[in-house]
Structure 1
Amino acid sequence: MKKFLMLTSAFSILACAAHADITVVSWGGAYEKSQVEAYNKPFMAETGIRITMTSADNPAGPIKSMVESGNVTVDVADLEYTDALRLCDEGLLEEIDPASLPAAPDGTPATEDFLDGALTDCAVASMVFSTVYGFDTSKFADQKPSTIADFFDLEKFPGKRGMRKNPKANLEIALMADGVPPQEVYATLETPEGLDRAFAMLDKIKPQTVWWEAGAQPPQLLADGEVAMTTAYNGRLFSAVVTESKPFEVVWDGQVYEYELFGIPKGAPNKDKALEYIKFATGTQRLADQTKWISYGPARKSSLPLVGLFEDGKTEMAKNMPTAEANLQHALRSSVEFWVDRDVEISERFNTWLTN
């Protein structure tokens, strides 16, 4: 089924690419809207290059299929950090010289202006997002959940839970919920006992868990009353609350944050235009502009002071970012090294666990 979905996504992208100067594959929803508004519209106005956006549950799958089949129809892919590193290691992405990226307005080179780890051999980070959890406030009128441990407490906070159908972030929050300090999470997960401990926590809520795969699903699960709480990408929950007036609340305790990056698939039909787009999109002002439409933090230091109001003209965005000081009190930066080395074996165990 997974392979079928990848191929279906690839064929959809192929159809969309026929009428564009460059094709960008992203994740859809509020996130894609933020890219269209902050990057695509001004880029097309400035350059005359047409952009077609298409989406996938995870762009890494279709990109891998396209490059390996020699039929690449996407020019720019929006990728999770571990996927970007893996595709680069496999020779499936073009290399990007960080020195070619635009400097900050004060002349600071891009290599010094981007946040630590935001530049890789084949991909450039645009923003910081996080996996948090949210809940429907109407279901917890007397007492509200406020910690990551509360997510696993079915007795104190009854109701179904939503979680991404992937071990990444789930195992981390499980350990933090069980009392492991953020700075010790990956050292714990590297041991057989620690991994067992994480799965034991997931066992507690497994019978009450609804699994989601696409980023747009968690807010919908809450809205439809299918779950009382769900993990989600913070920007999706923010958009549901602010733009759709949903009665949801975000819990930042135990958030797992990471970068999202732009890469160019190997053999992209419009490689030069793709690089031009990435340079434009990851400039200081454009990354700050994206925060007008979604609560993801820009990956450049020079963008941070430029973060202002949401598109509604009244909501302050800085406090809604994963990188806001108050939101980092009990937070964990996702370990790229851990997941690149162990993703395959842990995913196999997770998928087996799901069926048992």
Structure 2
Amino acid sequence: MSSTTKLFGLSAAASVLALSAAAQDPVSLTIVSWGGAYTASQQRAYHDPYMEANPHVTINNDDGSANALAGLRAQSQAGNVTWDLVDMLPSDAQLACDEGIIMQIDHDEMLAAAPDGTPASEDFLPGSLGECFIPQIVYSTVLTYRPGAFEDGAHPASINDLFDVENFPGRRALQDRPGTNMEWALYADGVDPEDIYDVLRTPEGVDRAFAKLDTIKDHIIFWTEGAQAPQLLADGEVAFATGYNGRMFEAIEVEGMDAAIIWDGQVVEWDGWVVPADGPNMEVVMDYLHFATDTQRLADQAKFISYGPARASSAELVGEHADLGIDMGPHMPTNPDNYYAPIVLDNDFWVDYGDEMRERFANWMLQ
């Protein structure tokens, strides 16, 4: 492990001095994220304000987060790290952290305290911080449907209906990975959300999940990129689609797609930043992170997309959508009206069993 993969902390004074010395030198940051409405929300809440305050910095977006772990590994092995900051899921972040290809984080040293002085380690939501991971948002994968897809105006209301091809016929668009699909299969088969991962840790539980998925196998279209799911719905190619709640919000509320979200069984997860080890612009990256993860900035992102901020102190600052003027509270995954049957994604499970599950799922898709 190189020295830069060790615990990294910069005092505020040292950071300011380093940035001041290089203030006139142009800096170009490559920030990797998921694209679409999500990257657009980061651009408006984080990137644009930061560049306005730091005119010597240019931020370039790379929509490579879907394959971020592989990209980080390849850059590290080649000794040529070109990414400055990466938006990544916690399970992949833990693997990258274990491999020493991203920085360990001293949260209270590197991140802003809450406005009332609460340190970052106590202000970020419980369980969200990782050894190498800084959360931004709480988001969920939800089931969405086209109201006009079913006869007699039928409206599905639960994950069970995804698996009910008799009463709710039509194609289903599912992501081409086991996560969410395995959880929903067991949930629809009668497993309580709190027991899903205990069941999935057994061979019998895995077989049970695949058996349930087999019941809709002939009705599935698989998607890979987040933008594909709402597009399949909008084009009328599917009756149901799984997707990220922010993508679906954008398609429904901003673009006017005729669809409705089912919050039953939403799979709740964190998403956030990791810092590639040996990156070329470390001082500027640290300064950007301090800015972009403070209380106000995380609340600002909720003006543009329906993801909940990962800081407790940000919650009371969430207001109306910047363009639509609608109250964003009811569109948040954590709104009590939506959070009635959540499945909280178990990142430890996916770290321990992910490779095995992905291999079996990939083979199942080809059968």
Alignment partner for residue 67 of structure 2, among 36, 52, 58? 58
TM alignment of 1:115-194, pairs within 5 A:
115-140=125-150, 142-194=153-205
The amino acid of 1:248's aligned partner reads A
1:27–1:59 CA contact under 8 A, matched in 2: no
What are the ranges of 5 or more consecutive residues in structure 2 without an aligned counterpart?
Answer: 1-25
Residues 198-229 of structure 1, C-alpha deviation per residue, up to 9 Å, x if partnerless?
11111111111010111111000111111110
Larger radius of gyration: 2
3-state DSSP of counterpart to 1:199: helix
Alignment partner for residue 105 of structure 1, among 87, 100, 115? 115
Cα RMSD over matched residues?
1.2
The amino acid of 1:156's aligned partner reads N
Structure 1 residue aligned with 2:77: 68
3-state DSSP of counterpart to 1:328: coil
TM-score, normalised via structure 2 length? 0.90
Give, in whole Å, the separation in 2 of the partners of 1:59 and 1:315: 34
Structure 2 residue aligned with 1:95: 104
The amino acid of 1:31's aligned partner reads Y
2:147–2:154 CA contact under 8 A, matched in 1: no
Residues 23-48 of structure 1, C-alpha deviation per residue, up to 9 Å, x if partnerless?
10001000000000000011111122
Q: How far is 1:313 from its partner?
A: 4.0
Moved more, 134-143 or 185-194: 134-143
The amino acid of 1:277's aligned partner reads Y
Give, in whole Å, the separation in 2 of the partners of 1:269 and 1:278: 15
Give, in whole Å, the separation in 1 of the partners of 2:255 and 2:88: 27
Residues 107-134 of structure 1, C-alpha deviation per residue, up to 9 Å, x if partnerless?
1111110001221111200001111110
1:35 paired with 2:45, answer no
2:142–2:267 CA contact under 8 A, matched in 1: yes
Q: How far is 1:328 from its partner?
A: 1.4
- Corresponding residue pairs, total: 338
The amino acid of 1:33's aligned partner reads A
Structure 2 residue aligned with 1:223: 234
Q: How far is 1:60 from its partner?
A: 2.5
The amino acid of 2:72's aligned partner reads I
3-state DSSP of counterpart to 1:40: helix
1:27–1:58 CA contact under 8 A, matched in 2: no
Give, in whole Å, the separation in 1 of the partners of 2:307 and 2:232: 22
Residues 320-355 of structure 1, C-alpha deviation per residue, up to 9 Å, x if partnerless?
111111211111110011000000111111111111
TM-score, normalised via structure 1 length? 0.93
3-state DSSP of counterpart to 2:112: coil
Structure 2 residue aligned with 1:8: none
1:349 paired with 2:360, answer yes
Structure 1 residue aligned with 2:14: none
Between the aligned residues of both structures, percent identity stands at 46
What are the ranges of 5 or more consecutive residues in structure 1 without an aligned counterpart?
Answer: 1-18
Q: How far is 1:59 from its partner?
A: 2.5
Structure 2 residue aligned with 1:243: 254
Structure 1 residue aligned with 2:273: 262
Alignment partner for residue 90 of structure 2, among 57, 81, 86? 81
Give, in whole Å, the separation in 2 of the partners of 1:301 and 1:162: 34
The amino acid of 2:195's aligned partner reads E
Moved over 6 A (4+): none
